Amino acid sequence: MRKTILSVLLGIVVIIGAYFLSGVIANSKEDKRPRPQKVIKTVFVDTVSNGEVPIVVPANGNLVAKRRVELFAEVQGVFRPGNKPFKPGQQYRKGQTLIRIDASEYYASVQSAKSDLYNLITSIMPDLQLDYPEHFPKWQKYLANFDLENSTPSLPEVTSEKEKYFITGRGIYSSYYNVKNLEQRLSKYTISAPFSGTLTEALVTEGTLVRAGQKLGEFIETGTYELEVAISKTYADFLRVGEEVSLSNLEKTNEFMGQVIRVNGRVDQSSQTITAFIEVKGENLKEGQYLEANLNARNENDAIEIDRSLLLEDDKIFVVRDSILDVIDVNPIYFTDKKVVLKNVPNGETIVSRPVSGGYAGMLVKVYGAATNGTTQ
């Protein structure tokens, strides 16, 4: 019995001692954790000054040569080699031969018809000298200048009814126009460059049998191009022929100046856009090159332009008032991929000019460059 009581008392003493010992140990530890300090975010701001903001409409497209010719054959024959190879990229000056089709057989028939005309006029000369001696000298001069190797000259001008009946009755006019028709067709065996430019497509090679109606290639004038762009019909009333347009390539390494030369009068029903054509010149431009254009649609008064990232949901933006972040309602009127044009922003208002991570209305902030207490970030 005595041993049991001693054991119980000893256990109670051990428990009480352990409790007090744990309290002493706990109190002896030092709290080395730093106390959290108050964090104040630093914000960048701008002061609102409403003014005239140009509404610039971005557009893009591919360049197309302003002057281009699709080459087709109107006659049949064998494609003969010329002074320059008929290959894509080959440059020609105005008047140089692009394509020469063998016309030996047809040329002989033309010469035969010209010879018949010459003989026919020669045969009427004796009668003309006897019956109408006053008209004889001009026809004699015509025969003297008649050259079978050159184009047939125009017939002398008829100055009287009797002369007209005489010449017509001998079949001179029908023979002459038959020759001119053959000469016109003979000229189609040679295709010359209508302007200085570059051959962009060649569909035949030397020795090919060319058939009438066959497409032979494409020829363009280099240096002057058109850019076709689609603009929203909202800005149709602000597009003007003659408007200067800034253009750049996709890499933004080259800039060009263009001019609106045509505006389509019809709205595309599927996209509700209007097509505008911009003329741009440059020796380093190429057909098919992709360009981006910025068209000045109109100027908006009493407005400002900010980054789209600063516009909050429900059309609000952050402002700073007495080092406190607040929000105000605004009226966005035009968006681009990076910017937004706003109205209804009071003049002199201090707005946040860079996004604030985790910002909210009522948040304590520090304006960049201003002194304040506490830790900033």
- Asked if 301 contacts 339 with a C-beta cutoff of 8 angstroms, the reply is no
Q: How far apart are CA 313 and CA 304, in angstroms?
A: 18
What is residue 32's predicted lDDT score, i.e. its pLDDT?
53
pLDDT classification of 19: cutoffs 50, 70, 90: low
* CA–CA–CA angle 281, 287, 291 (5° rounding): 70
- Ranges for all domains in the chain classified under CATH 2.40.50.100: 71-98+191-220
pLDDT category, 376, cuts 50, 70, 90? Answer: very low
- Indicate where the chain has its CATH 2.40.30.170 domain(s): 56-65+222-300
Is 252 a residue whose pLDDT tops 70? yes
Summarised one tens digit per residue, pLDDT across range 289-331 is: 999 888 777 778 888 989 988 888 888 898 888 888 888 888 8
Q: Which numeric CATH code is attached to 42-52+301-376? A: 2.40.420.20
- Asked if residue 305 lies in contact with residue 317, where contact means CB atoms within 8 angstroms, the answer is no
pLDDT of residue 375: 35
CATH node for 56-65+222-300: 2.40.30.170
Element housing 178 (H / E): helix 172-187
Cα–Cα distance list, 98 to 150, 195, 206, 287 (Å):
22, 11, 12, 20
Please list the residue range(s) of the chain that carry CATH number 2.40.420.20: 42-52+301-376
Query: How much is the pLDDT for 39?
Result: 67
pLDDT at 184 > cutoff 60 = yes
Most confident of the following: 11-20, 34-43, 314-323: 314-323
Q: What is the CATH number of domain 71-98+191-220?
A: 2.40.50.100
Residue-level pLDDT at 4: 65
Q: Which of residues 370 and 316 earns the better pLDDT score? A: 316
Taking CA atoms, 281 is separated from 66, 226, 228, 285, in Å, by 10, 9, 14, 8
Average pLDDT of the chain?
A: 85
- Residue range 27-43: mean pLDDT, rounded: 62
